[in-house]
């Protein structure tokens, strides 16, 4: 089941965040120490109240990296108390000039930039993410997002509203600032980026936060905690409690003294969070959940570009993206050629340790995901989709899955309906514009969508008709701090960035 020898693959079009120049890629750190493994509350490190710890693994080797203190309800309570204290009227955080908050966030960006290599190495080891992606994309995105949010700190303005006709009717001015304690539950696929997407806007607007990173990937968040302290944020403004969803996560979503919860993860858990919010104190809820995003390729598209973006749109980070282009609709007349090129592209993959240069696919995050993906691949075979390549595990250790492409996929198959979150591409055929819009929208999800065409009319029309929070035209996975991101329908509530 070995994939052929390494082939260097240079994508012709890079579906990446646009930057005018990329830094040179350094070698990852070889002697990484995991210095921060405790719960971060009030700018101090705490053991868990229960005394419990949980192990953190390297998914490429299945080796244990270290143990981390396991936060639970009591630890969440401690963190909320600290956050509430930091949020008292008259506290240093509440009386700080908005521009000064911006300064602190900017400083945090500088510190993350200073520790970029360390964080990227850690992200790669703990998350199974390609080191090059972690260094260039994840860390680059984090730094830019923080700097962007820093600038907003003194620019979220209220309005004065002319409510009366008289010359000197009083005007009312409202500070449109959420003064809340926010709580966040994070997903493991982009641990640092998700952390920054959450804390950037929250801190910019003057909130205090309690963050629960994913149990699979708590390490980089804890390192950033140390940087938050170093940057000079007052104690209690940011608190980070590593732990599990059903315990620490549930404690957050049902806590009576938390004003808002923001969650990124599966739709299933998102529903539980919203329920818990309703049952407890009607806390505000924002959710960024799953997707089954359509990517539509018309016959008039530039085929090279479309194949490459569609491929990266699905296979980037082992398919573990909520925006993954996991329903690829290709117009009938180019279908066979498109499938042929996509399979050829997928076969070029080099699997291996994500820290190794030249590797372009790492492991899935953990055993549970790995088994779930293999199960869905089996269902695809059984339900009659045509397996073009891949279709099974790879290697003797680590959670590797072969890049897999299915053709002749039909809408009712499980692989066409459920979020796989793995390196499994589904290619469907369509005949008319009318037909494809109907089918693309026929899903519970509505996170994102892609269109490939040279026809301006089609591009504008289809982007208006698709029910998705983001529509990319002739590109995919273009995400930047300036553009909002979030889902229609059951892909989420609210927008980030």
Query: β-pairing, 470-473 with 448-452?
Result: parallel
Residue 77 backbone zone (phi > 0: left; psi -120 to 50: alpha; other: beta)? alpha
Residue where the block lists tokens 């998914």? 59
What are the structure tokens assigned to 143, written together? 């730094």
Q: And the tokens for 211? A: 């963050």
Q: Where are the alpha helices (DSSP H) in 115-218?
A: 116-127, 131-132, 139-152, 191-204
Would you say 45 or 106 has its CB closer to other proteins? 106
Q: Rule CB under 8 A: is residue 106 a binding residue for other proteins? A: yes
Which of residues 4, 5, 10, 21 is near other proteins by CB under 8 A? 21
50 DSSP 8-state letter: T
386 binds other proteins (CB under 8 A): no
Instruction: State the catalytic residue, choosing from 16, 215, 288, 496.
Output: 288
DSSP states along 277-302: HHHTT--EEEEE-----EEEE-TTS-
Examine the residue annotation and report whether 288 is marked as an active-site residue of this protein. yes
Indicate which single residue of 4, 5, 30, 457 sits in contact with other proteins (rule: CB under 8 A): 457
Among 11, 65, 113, 266, binds other proteins (CB under 8 A): 113
The reply on whether position 143 binds other proteins by CB under 8 A is: yes
Q: Would you say 176 or 368 has its CB closer to other proteins?
A: 176
Show the CA angle centred on residue 110, arms to residues 107 and 114, nearest 5°.
140
CB of 89 to other proteins, least distance (A): 12
Decide if residue 114 touches other proteins (CB under 8 A): yes
Among 86, 209, 219, 481, binds other proteins (CB under 8 A): 481
The residue count of the chain comes to: 497
The H or E element containing residue 260 is strand 260-264
- Give least dist CB 453 to other proteins, A: 11
Q: How many residues bind other proteins (CB under 8 A)?
A: 49
Is the distance from CB of 392 to CB of 371 less than 8 angstroms?
Answer: no
Measured in whole angstroms, the distance separating CA 90 from the mean position of its chain's CA atoms is: 35
Among the listed residues 177, 433, 444, 497, the single contact to other proteins using CB under 8 A: 433
Smallest gap from residue 471 Cβ to other proteins (A):
13
Is residue 300 at the binding interface for other proteins, with CB under 8 A as the rule?
Answer: no
Q: Which of 140, 236, 243, 492 binds other proteins (CB under 8 A)?
A: 140
Please state whether 43 falls in left (phi above 0), alpha (psi between -120 and 50) or beta.
Answer: left
Spatial CA neighbour of 323 closest among 497, 121, 116, 136: 497
Which of 20, 30, 51, 256 contacts other proteins by CB under 8 A? 20
Shortest gap between Cβ of 412 and other proteins (angstroms)?
21
Provide the 3-class DSSP secondary structure of residue 69.
Answer: strand
Residue ranges that bind other proteins, judged by CB under 8 A: 18-23, 95, 97-100, 102-103, 106, 113-114, 116, 139-140, 143-144, 147-148, 150-155, 157, 167-168, 170, 433-434, 437-438, 441, 456-458, 460-462, 464-465, 467, 481-482
The catalytic residues are 288
């Amino acid at each position: 089941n070995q994939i052929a020898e390494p082939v260097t693959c240079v994508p012709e079009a890079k579906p990446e965040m646009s930057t005018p120049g990329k830094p040179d890629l350094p070698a990852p750190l070889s002697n990484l120490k995991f210095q921060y493994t405790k719960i971060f509350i009030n700018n101090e490190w705490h053991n868990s109240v229960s005394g419990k710890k949980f192990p953190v693994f390297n998914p490429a080797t299945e080796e244990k990296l270290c143990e981390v203190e396991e936060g639970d309800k009591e630890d969440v309570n401690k963190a909320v108390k600290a956050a509430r204290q930091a949020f008292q009227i008259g506290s240093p955080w509440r009386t700080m000039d908005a521009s000064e908050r911006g300064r602190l966030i900017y400083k945090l960006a500088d510190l993350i930039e200073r520790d970029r290599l360390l964080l990227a190495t850690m992200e790669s080891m703990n998350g199974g993410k390609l080191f090059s992606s972690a260094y260039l994309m994840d860390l680059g995105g984090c730094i830019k997002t923080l700097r962007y949010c820093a600038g907003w700190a003194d620019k979220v303005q209220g309005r004065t509203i002319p409510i009366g006709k008289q010359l000197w009717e009083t005007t009312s001015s409202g500070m449109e600032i959420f003064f809340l304690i926010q709580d966040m539950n994070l997903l493991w696929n982009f641990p640092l980026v998700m952390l920054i997407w959450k804390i950037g806007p929250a801190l910019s607007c003057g909130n205090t936060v309690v963050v629960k990173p994913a149990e699979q990937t708590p390490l980089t968040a804890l390192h950033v905690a140390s940087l938050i302290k170093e940057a000079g944020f007052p104690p209690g403004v940011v608190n980070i409690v590593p732990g599990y969803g059903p315990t620490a996560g549930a404690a957050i979503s049902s806590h009576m003294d938390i004003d808002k919860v923001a969650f990124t993860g599966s739709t299933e858990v998102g529903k539980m969070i919203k329920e818990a919010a309703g049952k407890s104190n009607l806390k505000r809820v924002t959710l960024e959940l799953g997707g089954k995003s359509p990517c539509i390729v018309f016959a008039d598209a530039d085929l090279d570009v479309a194949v490459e973006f569609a491929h990266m749109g699905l296979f980037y980070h082992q398919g573990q993206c909520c925006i993954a282009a996991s329903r690829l609709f290709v117009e009938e007349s180019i279908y066979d050629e498109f499938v042929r090129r996509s399979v050829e592209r997928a076969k070029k993959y080099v699997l291996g340790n994500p820290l190794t240069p030249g590797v372009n696919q790492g492991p899935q995050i953990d055993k549970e995901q790995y088994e779930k993906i293999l199960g869905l691949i089996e269902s695809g075979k059984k339900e009659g989709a045509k397996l073009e390549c891949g279709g099974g595990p790879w290697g003797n250790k680590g959670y590797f899955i072969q890049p897999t492409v299915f053709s002749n996929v039909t809408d009712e198959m499980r692989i066409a309906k459920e979020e796989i979150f793995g390196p499994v591409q589904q290619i469907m055929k369509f005949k008319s514009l009318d037909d494809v819009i109907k089918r693309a929208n026929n899903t519970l999800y509505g996170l994102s969508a892609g269109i490939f065409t040279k026809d301006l009319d089609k591009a504008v029309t289809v982007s208006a008709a698709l029910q998705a929070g983001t529509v990319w035209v002739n590109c995919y996975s273009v995400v930047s701090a300036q553009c909002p991101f979030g889902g229609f329908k059951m892909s989420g509530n609210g927008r980030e960035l």
